[in-house]
Structure 1
Amino acid sequence: MQSATLQQQPSKARKSDSKGNVGLYGRLFAPAATRPASIIEVIVGMILVIGVCYLIRPGDPLLLGIDFPWIWLAATVFALRYGALLGVVAGLCVALAWAVFYGDGGAFPTMFFVGGLTQLVITGHFCDVWANRANRLQGVNNYLNDRLVSITNNHYLLRVSHERLERDLLSKPSTLRDAVGYLRSLSASNVQSDPLPNAQAMLEFAALSCQIGVASIFPVARNGLAQQAIASVGERFELNADDPLLRECVEKRALSHLRHIDAQESAYLACVPIIAASDQMTGVLVVRRMPFLSLNFDNLQLLLVLLNYYADGIEQQAVVTQVQKVVAECPYDFALELGRLAHMRQVSGVHSSLVALVFPRGTIGDSLFDQVVRQRRTLDLLWAFSTEQTQVVVVLMPLTDENGIDGYLLRIESNLKTQFDTDLAQAHVAVHSAAVDAEAPGSGLEKLLARCGHHA
């Protein structure tokens, strides 16, 4: 039996922090603050700065008699911190201070204020531009992190599937591919009032696949884990919230088993968190009894992956339903990525595209169709289907605008020219493209298919 200290499955989503690399002092100078709070902070901050200057030089609180205009340095910090608009607010505070302390006599220092306000506008505009770029990059990074989590899970499932197929094909009629399809169908009936739909069926399937004797699933409540199990196999039991193995699982949000608490006693053999790719824990599977030979690294790791895949399916179902409700025959993976890209464009403004290639049936058309399918880029998703007269390839191109579409089509034509001495126009291949619709991705896909002559 293989034994090793289990680490949490790498399906946990990684949250990137756009300011995570600036350190403690960087967070003090560039925090994330809401607009009303920032306005108050700018006004109060400038009052404090001018007040300190007044204590230092009561006769010249704006430090006009010093060679360098130090008062604008504080206003520039606020401009870099919050942007041009609030930088101008800081400048107006300086102008108001001049009216209070210097308004009785003396000429208005025009160039002093013109230069200072110009500096604030330039530095504030710099802040606005780079904050917008940082938000766009944040949206792209979040999408790529989601793709990485999905690819990692699929890769692990594929590897475990081949290993278990070699060992268990004679004793178990189902494969891990069947398990994935079954768990996806269980997640498909998700409703908002039920955070873990079909939990009993899912637990029974996991118990059969991983040889679990007695176990229960406890959902996450507002104040911790609920005391009542929503699904059980074997005899039911009450949850001991103070059990050291359970506390280890909840605190570290990772799979825990007896090896982790060798010096303590526990009534449970293993505790498995149910965590989706968004890092939200919806429940914990508590295993109280299972065969000794089944308590090994591969079996418990497979149990963790099955539960997390089930949790991912619950979160993803709302995104998939939005597309499949309009285009029912759209594949699950294609609909999921289309919904994710639509959300990314809605939040971050990053464009993605759809390209449809319609090939006529025949010897040449079929060869061209196969060649284009083989040319899929790593990040792209393909949906290929056939009708009596045509074959259609719909390519979902993440993070790609119109210029990227032109480059993709030029690469295809260059390859077809080299392989078949023809191009898309000569081969009578129709090309249609569209941007991913941020509001209604399913409707955008439906309109593209209608342009291809395909109707659901």
Structure 2
Amino acid sequence: MLAPAAARPSAILEVVIGMVVIVGICYAIRPADPILLGIGFPWIWLAATVFAVRYGASLGVLAGLCIAVAWALLYGTSGDAEFPTMLFVGGFAQLVITGHFCDVWANRMKRMQSAQDYLDDRLASLTNNHYLLRISHQNLERTLLTQPSTLRDAVRYLRDLPVSNAQDETLPNAQSMLEFAARSCQLGAASVFCVSGNGPKFRVVASVGESFALDADDPLVRECLEQRVLVHLRHIDNEESAYLACVPIISASQELMGILVVRLMPFLSLNFDNLQLLLVLLSYYADSIEQQEIVTSVQAGVSQCPYEFALEIGRLGHMQQISGVPSSLVALVFPHEPLAESLLNQVLRQHRALDLRWTFNTEHAQVLITLMPLTDENGISGYLLRLEDEFRKQFDTNLTEAHVAVHIGAIDANLATYGLEGILERCGYRA
């Protein structure tokens, strides 16, 4: 309550009413001196300072103006009252200084929060990737002989699905996804239902096998919607259900987009590993719905850009747009020479945890594009200095002597490819 995250629209009214109440209390205590001019310390300015620290310099000055109005109404009516100029000058100076301190740190906190949100997103993405890797490894060991495709094939298939689908825009390509899941997990009859409204309302958008209508009052469906987790018959031992399993489709932003309801599947396929694989496939599909639009906008200008690289540059461009936190691109162009090949391998070995890299060959050179999140010009300078120092120690050369061209660019949210296309043109890249 004392330090709100952002100033509310009612803050002006709160400051004015608060100062009126404070002046009223002071008037009740000292009717002859309602703004406490004669007690040795300007206590009423302390109240205005609280508003300045709470809301910033602008509303702090407003609180000071309330004190000035109170003096004009309560003291200025008598002809012999002299305006305490120095007291008010010092008071307003105090309000501006404390309010400016509030404004500066509020802005810093906003930038730090934006950077923290990005790092949380990267951590969640890495966690999901590790989970996918573990599930893929287990699935490959246990079901290689019977499973028609590996999880890696499934991820590749879902990633390559087109962006839009005329059948449904909320769950695009739901039919293609369900058909692939049915082949991978041996589903006999299943349907995907889009969830909309507060009811919620269900609309079938894809189905395999014999189609069926969804019973929203089925205990398995209710449990899936309430808990937002995969549920099957074992979760409702004391109740009967017309379905075998229900799997929620939840996006990366934790929005429930739909549910997949399985009505028929072979008995031996109804096991933990198979259902867990189905859950992972649907989770990746839901994440791809939000990510595909970003990737497509980048790949429309740079067709050969890798999926992960395009997704990350889009995320950083969005973060730069909403918070101004900079990120950068560094391109190193190595000529086709033996020394340059060794230098490129050395650069590849020095990999920062957050950086993403994209290497490709042109007719005359090898190009390494490094995407450096949360890095400004000073960070790039430090990165290049470290490379120069490493090259000097290992190969007794530097970038200039080795004929390695360096191109630097910043992520620009106002460009279609966030600045990637421009830096590639400087490297001699042709789409």
1:429 correspondence with 2:404: yes
**Corresponding residue for residue 96 of structure 2:** 121
Aligned counterpart for 1:247 among listed residues 222, 227, 236: 222
8 Å Cα contact 2:331-2:407 kept in structure 1: yes
Shift of 1:193: 6.8
Q: 1:295 to 1:59 in 2, by over 3 A?
A: farther
Q: Is the 8 A contact 1:227 1:238 kept in 2?
A: no
Residue 156 of structure 1 aligns with which residue? 131
Distance in 1 (CA, whole Å) between partners of 2:172 and 2:131 is: 25
How far off its partner does 1:150 sit? 1.3
After TM superposition, the score normalised by the length of structure 2 is 0.93
**8 Å CA contact 1:358, 1:429 repeated in 2:** yes
**SS state of the match for residue 174, structure 1?**
coil
Structure 1 equivalent of residue 66 of structure 2: 93
Cross-structure match for 2:255: 280
Cα drift, residue 379 of structure 1: 0.8
Post-superposition CA distance 1:169-217 (Å, at most 9, x none): 3333422111011111225336897011111111121122222233221
Name the amino acid aligned to 1:66.
I
- Equivalent residue in structure 1 for 2:50, among 70, 77, 93: 77
Distance 1:357 1:341, change over 3 A: same
CA distance in 2 between partners of 1:171 and 1:153 (Å)? 25
Q: Which amino acid is the alignment partner of residue 294 of structure 1?
A: S
Residue 182 of structure 2: which of 184, 203, 207 is its match?
A: 207
The 5 A counterparts of 1:235-274 are 235-274=210-249
Partner of 1:366: 341
Deviation at 1:84, TM superposition (A): 0.4
* Contact 1:352–1:397, Cα closer than 8 Å, also in 2: yes
Match of 1:233 in 2: 208
* 2:301 counterpart of 1:330: no
Report if the CA contact (8 A) 1:432-1:452 is conserved: yes
Matching residue of 1:304: 279
- Deviations 1:235-289, CA, capped at 9 Å, x for gaps: 2232232333333322333333344444444433332221121222211122233
Shift in alpha-carbon separation, 1:70–1:277, aligned structure 2, 3 A: same
What is the alpha-carbon distance in structure 1 between the residues aligned to residue 148 and residue 187 of structure 2? 18
- The Cα offsets for residues 32-53 of structure 1, whole Å up to 9 and x where unpaired, read as 4556422222222222322333
Match of 2:161 among 152, 171, 186: 186
* Percent of residue pairs bearing the same amino acid type: 67
Q: 3-state SS of the aligned residue for 1:442?
A: coil
User: Hey, what's the Cα distance between the residues in 1 that align with 2:214 and 2:148?
Assistant: 34
Given the superposition, is the C-alpha separation of residues 306 and 224 from structure 1 closer, same or farther in structure 2, using an over 3 Å criterion? farther
Q: Does the 8 Å contact 1:351/1:401 carry over to 2? A: yes
Supply the AA of the counterpart residue of 1:322. S
Match of 2:358?
383
Task: Give the Cα separation in 1 of the matches to 2:145 and 2:209.
Answer: 26
Is 2:19 aligned against 1:46?
Answer: yes
Match of 2:270 in 1: 295
Amino acid at match of 1:37: S
Residue 393 in 1 paired to residue 365 in 2? no
- Contact 2:167–2:205 (8 Å) recurs in 1: no
1:417 aligns with one of 392, 404, 415? 392
TM-score (norm 1): 0.88
The 1:240/1:66 distance shift into structure 2, 3 A limit, reads farther
**Unpaired runs of 5+ in structure 1?**
1-27
Q: For residues 412-446 of structure 1, what are the alpha-carbon distances to aligned partners after superposition, in whole Å with 9 as ceiling and x for unaligned?
A: 22333333332222211111111111211516211
Q: 3-state SS of the aligned residue for 1:29?
A: coil
Does the residue aligned with 1:394 lie in a helix, a strand or coil?
strand
Amino acid at match of 1:145: D
Given the superposition, is the C-alpha separation of residues 418 and 213 from structure 1 closer, same or farther in structure 2, using an over 3 Å criterion?
A: same
Residue of structure 2 equivalent to 1:63: 36
Residue 445 in structure 1 maps to residue 420 in structure 2: yes
SS at match of 1:227: strand
* Corresponding residue of 1:220: 195
Distance 1:238 1:73, change over 3 A: farther
Q: Which has the higher contact order (CA 8 A, sep 6+)?
A: 1
CA-atom RMSD in angstroms: 2.2
Instruction: Provide Cα deviations, 1:141-171, integer angstroms capped at 9, x if missing partner.
Output: 1111111121111111112212222223333
